[in-house]
Amino acid sequence: MSNLIIALDDGYFPPIKKGKTTIAGVRWRRNPEKSIIDLIDIDGLNATQKAIEVINRLEACSEDTVVLLDGVAYAGFNFIDPEEISGACESGFIVVFYRPLDIDRIKNALQKNFEDWDKRLQVFTKACQSTRIIITEKGRIYVYSNLDSLDAQKIISSIQIYSSIPEPLRLAHLIASEASLFLRRKKTI
């Protein structure tokens, strides 16, 4: 598969801490080509918009682009709405989960901590209701995607190198985590 993949993941943040953390985007076509880092609010509402900005900065808004997300929760209960990204960037999306979402547990946590819990819950509910199982040579993963199941499976299989974690997501995670730890040590976030 020669789709352009944009993988997004968030960085480290300490529990029970407000502020910001990093979001990293990795542009990948057979190999990593470029990466971008930005900041998102912990438990905020700006992750979707920041994700769109990162994708634009990676020059990746096109119909052959597939946006690859590690879940929909970023920086605590900030969230990325993959359908909003797909509409803004005219791209496909694949959201990867490594176990089924427990929507009741998510709902309880949101109700306890956020006045706007119902707005946040909508994205999680849609993902939960639309999740499918994909089996590859590297194992079973759960995906929420606007692509055909076979296409999603082929794309995921083509970018699983060392484990069931797609390599662009693994790389985005490493970049975001190391960047956030560096910025925390420098006390800039």
pTM equals 0.95
Q: Is the pLDDT of residue 29 over 70?
A: yes
**All domains of the chain in start order, with CATH:** 4-99+133-185 (3.30.2170.10)
Cα–Cα distance, 20 to 171 (Å, whole number):
20
Segment 39-90, tens digit of pLDDT? 999 999 999 999 999 999 999 888 899 999 999 999 999 999 999 999 999 9
Q: Is the pLDDT of residue 1 over 70?
A: no
- Region for 19 from its dihedrals, namely left if φ exceeds 0, alpha if ψ lies in -120 to 50, beta otherwise: left
189 — pLDDT class (breaks 50, 70, 90): confident
Q: Is the pLDDT of residue 109 over 90?
A: yes
